[in-house]
Amino acid sequence: MKVIRQLQVKFIYSMVLIEMIVFAAIIFALNFSITRRSNNEAKAFLTFLAKNNGHRPPPKGFHNKKHHDGNFIPPDDDLLRDIDATSSASLERPDDFFRNLTDFFRIQHTFDANMRNYFSVRTGGDGKVLELIQDFPINYTSEEIQTFVDEVLNVYHTTGKKCDMYSGAMFYILDLSPFEKLICVLNRNSELKTLGKFYIYSVLLYILSIIVSVLISLPISKFMVKPAKDAFIKQKQFIADASHELKTPIAVIGANIDVLESEIKGNKWLEYIKTENRRMGELVKDLLYLAKNDAGRNELHFFDFDFSNAVENSILPFEVLAFESQKTLELNVQKGIICNGDEKSLKQIFIILVDNALKNSEEGAKITVTANGDDKRIVFKVHNTGAGIPKEELEKIFLRFYRSDYSRARKTGGYGLGLAIARTIAEDHGGTLTANSEVGQWAEFTLVIPRKK
């Protein structure tokens, strides 16, 4: 049931591949959207600070004091007093109070909760910090701030970017004059760590979803391929039964032909019938072998035997056929190769490959059979000069009933089952049977099997 297993594997592979692509697209889009939104919010906040001289202005609707230069005073005690004043006024205008209070909490949530640990500095032409602008205490010393500003200005002069990331912080530079600059800085280390954890969780979720999809695909694939499996079993059973039933009439026809030949000498029609009956018998035999193999009823008997002698005994009878067809058969076999396998079925491979080389080569062709092995594997090759095999047909020739040249196959009496049987035997031994060729020059079949299965 190898075909059914392959169909099931392909079904699972297709389902998992589709789910992988869909999940990857969703997770990538989600991560990209969150990262982009986070970056845009950070840039918008820094731009907001720069437009307000490095401060976050207090909420709308509250009275604020200003420096003599017009800058806002950081909202601390004054902001609380203004809240009290607004609360008193709310007795006369309750709608304004609740509207202002709503705006206050909205801004607090947007900036204080999400954009903490920010500051701004005003620098001179030499890059020295002239003023530190902060709305609440920060965890930086003056030396650390100056060092950070120097690095930021270096990045700005190198890349020309006024808004960029450096050492986990995002900065925005605003030119106040030809010599002075306002640098707004937002520490995003905590935010980036959170995003990093989110990426890790996304990958873990992606891997988990793939594992779950594989587990779900297994029972679904069995259910989906069940009709094909049932049809395949019925087809193989029919071929096996038909082949078995055909053996008897073919044998009876052969026996009757032998009787008629003894009574009617030299009748060409009887000879034609005998030839086709023999070919039919071989076809039924091959079909029965493949049907039994598909059903797992072929019994192979593994034991140690002399692989070298098996090759020589199988190939030597072909020397007469090669001589009669004016071809050269050369045997190059390493002595003393011991193999653990089914000797009878392996001999069948030798016969199929050499017979195939003789039938599919022209007069004067050279067929070379080689066999050698080491401690782990045994390699058997049949090489013949001639027309060769097109590259696109190197795998097709192992399909059942496939014949590359129908006229030649009919002439030589083949049905296209020999190579399929040979590959089946090779796989039953845990090996491989492959073909290689150079069109117009040569063709070569290589059997590789392990010494011990």
| 3-state per-residue secondary structure call for 281-325 | HHHHHHHHHHHHHHCCCCCCCCEEEEHHHHHHHHHCCHHHHHHHC
Highest mean pLDDT among 78-87, 245-254, 358-367: 358-367
Angstrom distances, CA of residue 65 to CA of 62, 68, 73: 10, 10, 6
Q: Which range (2-16, 101-115, 288-302) has the least confidence?
A: 101-115
CA angle 236, 239, 245 (to 5 degrees): 140
In this structure, how many other beta carbons lie within 10 angstroms of the beta carbon of residue 158?
A: 8
The pair phi, psi for residue 68, each rounded to 5°, is -70, -20
Q: Checking DSSP bridges between strand 442-450 and strand 169-175, what pairing results, if any? A: unpaired
The whole-model pTM stands at 0.52
The DSSP code sequence of 361-382 is S-TT-EEEEEEEE-SSEEEEEE
Of 175, 181, 153, whose CA–CA distance to 166 is shortest?
153
For 6-10, 243-247, 421-425, which range has the lowest pLDDT when averaged over its residues?
Answer: 243-247
Q: For the ranges 43-47, 51-55, 246-250, 417-421, which has the lowest average pLDDT? A: 246-250
Q: Is the pLDDT of residue 93 over 70?
A: no
> DSSP secondary-structure letter at 58?
P
| Overall average pLDDT of the 303-324 stretch | 91
Q: Give percent of the chain above pLDDT 70.
A: 81
**Banded model confidence at residue 269, pLDDT cuts 50, 70, 90:** confident
pLDDT at 302 over 80: yes
- Are 163 and 171 spatial neighbours (Cβ–Cβ below 8 Å)? yes
For residue 175, what are the contacts with CB-CB under 8 A and spacing of at least 6? 181, 182
What integer pLDDT is reported at residue 327 of this predicted model?
92
Please tell me which residue, 290 or 113, carries the higher pLDDT value: 290
Summarize pLDDT for 360-394 with one digit per residue, the tens: 888 889 999 999 988 889 999 999 998 888 888 88
- pLDDT above 80: residue 412: no
DSSP-derived secondary structure for 423-447: HHHHHHTT-EEEEEEETTTEEEEEE
Burial-class residue 193 by CB neighbours within 10 Å (0-12, 13-18, 19+).
Answer: exposed
Q: Please tell me the predicted confidence (pLDDT) of residue 116.
A: 57
Q: Is the dihedral of CA 33, 36, 42, 43 positive or negative?
A: negative
Between CA 269 and CA 433 the distance in angstroms is 40
Residue 439 has pLDDT above 80, yes or no: yes
Query: Cα separation of 292 and 240, whole Å?
Result: 7
Write down the pLDDT at residue 405.
57
CA distance 250 to 233: 26
Helix 343-359 to helix 418-428 angle, to the nearest 10 degrees? Answer: 150
How high is the mean pLDDT of the chain?
80
Overall size of the chain counted in residues: 453
Band (275; pLDDT cuts 50, 70, 90): confident
User: Hey, CA dihedral for 135, 140, 141, 144, is it positive or negative?
Assistant: negative
Tens digit of each residue's pLDDT (9 = 90 or more) over 111-122: 443 445 788 999
Q: Tell whether the model's pLDDT for residue 227 goes beyond 80.
A: yes
Q: Which whole number is the average pLDDT over 330-344? A: 91
Lowest mean pLDDT among 352-361, 392-401, 423-432: 392-401
